[in-house]
A and B are shown apart, each in its own frame.
Chain A
Amino acid sequence: MTFQIGSTLLDACVLAVLAGGDAYGYRLTQQLRQVVDISESTLYPVLRRLQKDEAVQSYDQPYMGRNRRYYRLTDKGNRMYQNYQEEWNDFRRKIDSLMLADPLLQLEAKSSRQSETEFKMDVGERTDAL
């Protein structure tokens, strides 16, 4: 993948997966790796950080004669996740308006900057082009 996932976005992704249900390390990694291209060694430090921030809790459950460590979202983690969702929506719309060259979104963004006449001209040109 061309775009790098920063640590904040990675936090948000982990919280999002855990919001869908508790998960253990290997499963969590595999789920994330279906979507984002992260190294397997990246996840533990992220989980550890989220634990220290009290966004995530771990608990052990017996599985085939051994313990398996599961991670679950705390209330704080849930609030963080909702906050990230809103932020992501905002961020995504902005990038989309640039990147996907969606005419409606671009007009929306331009209308806040341009004067009335320029705006009208722009609409004229655009409808001609369309």
Chain B
Amino acid sequence: MTKFEFMEELRLRLAVLSAEERADALQFYEEYFEDAGPENEQAVIAELGSPAAVAERILSGEGKAAVWKNGRESSGNTASAQPEDRDFRGYRSYTGGYQSYSPPKKNSGWKILAIVLLVTGSPIWLTLLAAIFLTVLGIALAVGGVLFAIICSIVALILLTIVCLGVGLWMLPQDMLNGLFVLSYGLMGLGGALILVPLGSVCIHKVFPALGRGLAYCWHGIGGWCKKAWRYLTGRKGGGEG
């Protein structure tokens, strides 16, 4: 970087100052370079640091002076470290409103909106939530009921098979035709049972736990949602809900 480039960037970065203040600052550094001599140009630039840092110091010094004018004593230190590479366009907002500068509050508007929506919409979303949950519960219970009925039929079939086989065998010596008839029912029942019992056991071991897990999952899901929404509204950890 040459002296010219340094001064040019400093000039740009001091654009927020009044013409008089800017000319004063620029003259100081112009003279500084001249008094140091052209042979020391690079040494001076190295020692001064980046034009951004120099401008930052000048601007924060001016800002402090403005605070003093309002009668407030400031024990601040102009020599305190400043962020060096601030975005150039950020200067105006940073120094222009120095006295009333406060960090922008993100999210607060959205948060209030979310709370208002949640409260005013509570009749709608509470009923909706309840309806969804009850529908899921209803479907689960229906599926469970059907499965329970099937299992009951299987048990009944097994009982019937045992009874039919016993009665058929008992009737066979007395009334051969009727005995065979009852016995055939028993054998049919046995065949049916052999097919249906594995199905029933699958129901008991797989489907019922799966249903239970599904319901538990739904329950936790709703709970998790509520937790996330709560955290979003109270704490800073932004999250879902939307």
Contact = CB atoms under 8 A, between A and B. Distances in A.
A15 to B, nearest CB: 15
B27 interface: yes
Interface stretch (A36-44, A94-102, A111-119): A36-44
Nearest to A68: B31
Given A25-B31, A26-B35, A49 B53 contact: no
Contacts of B61: 44-46, 48-49
Contacts of B25: 44, 48
B77 interface: yes
Contacts of A69: 27-28, 31
B32 interface: yes
B34 interface: yes
Contact of A39 (B29, B32, B49, B65): B49
Interface residues of A, number: 26
A7 interface: yes
Nearest to A53: B68
Nearest to B60: A45
A48 B24 contact: yes
A40 B35 contact: no
B47 interface: yes
Interface residues on B, range: 20 to 34
A39 B25 CA distance: 16
B11 to A, nearest CB: 14
B29 A44 contact: yes
B123 interface: no
Contacts of B60: 45
Interface in A24-64: 24-27, 29, 38-42, 44-49, 52-53
A27 B53 CA distance: 22
B32 A48 contact: no
B119 interface: no
Contacts of A49: 61, 64-65, 78
A48 B20 CA distance: 12
A10 interface: yes
Interface string B56-69: 01101110110010
Interface in B12-48: 24-25, 27-29, 31-32, 34-36, 44, 47-48
A83 to B, nearest CB: 15
Contacts of A53: 68
B44 A7 contact: no
A27 B32 CA distance: 9
B31 A39 contact: no
A23 to B, nearest CB: 11
